[in-house]
Amino acid sequence: MRKPMIACGTGFRLPIALAGSDFIMVQYLSRFLYRGEATVAMIKAVVFDFDGTILDTETVAYEAVNGVFRERGHELPLDKWTGAIGTLGGFDGCSELSACTGQSVEREWFDARFGELYAGMVHQVPLLPGIRDALEEAKRLGLAVGLATSSYRAWIEPHLDRLDLHRYFDVIHTADDVERVKPDPALYRLAVRSLGVEPGEAVAIEDSLHGLRAAKGAGLYGIVVPNAMTAGLDFSEADLVVPTLDGQKLEMLVARWNE
């Protein structure tokens, strides 16, 4: 299996460890250098995840559920939360809090309190750094652009409207469109089919292991951009890992598959 690389914002990937990073890896000298005249040839589409990739809603969700735990005198360990990122139903906060307290926690109360805390924070969350630039560049390069998310459409639509993102996406597929969400590859299979490209002609941009495995299972290349919640996970299955999209050239990131 090809080892993932970490792009450094230049044409080179040098053998330098990123000290202080939760995903320290050794960079390898690329077989290619970025040239301004480069054009996208083989890669025809890019498919973005939503939560944690476009918006860091995952940090907000963790802070909200942890807020409920703190009200009952407990702290939710981060590793309990990160395993559920990128899918639906992967973590039962109410049952976990009941186990911590040794008392039955009313689910209706838990859900309502979590919803209050979450709603108070999430509607102010900005785009993650570099996302709009990447979307703009994808359109400029003539790439088809898709969105594949394990969230429901009713959840993402207000954010897409608020941040004026609809115009960037040729197709949007959500949990409403499939029987199984990530890590099942159904969402990505549906996305590339809707975009009219082969899986090997598309790159997925993800932040979670569930999302990465869904993309790879569907036959796409996988770029991972970890966020604060997922930076400590093992993304050795990824084709490429970048610490942020801020300052990156999408054309350069996909150039390794356009030789």
CA distance 40 to 250: 10
- 162-212 per-position pLDDT tens digit: 999 999 999 999 999 999 999 999 999 999 999 999 999 999 999 999 999
CA distance 251 to 43: 10
How large is the average pLDDT for residues 224-249?
94
Average pLDDT, the chain: 83
Q: What is the reported pLDDT for 16?
A: 28
The answer to pTM > 0.85 is no
* CA 251 to each of CA 36, 45, 138, 180: distance values in angstroms, whole numbers, following the listed order: 9, 12, 8, 32
Q: Which residue in 254, 236, 237 sits closest to 245, CA to CA?
A: 254
Contacts of residue 134, Cβ cutoff 8 Å, sequence gap at least 6: 205, 245, 248, 250
DSSP label of 60: H
Active site residues: 49, 51
Helix (H) or strand (E) holding 166: none
23 falls in which pLDDT band (50, 70, 90)? Answer: very low
54 falls in which pLDDT band (50, 70, 90)? Answer: very high
Structure tokens at 102: 């040794």
CA distance 221 to 178: 21
Q: What is the reported pLDDT for 88?
A: 64
**Ordered DSSP codes for 63-87:** HHHHHHHHHTT----HHHHHTTTTS
51 falls in which pLDDT band (50, 70, 90)? Answer: very high
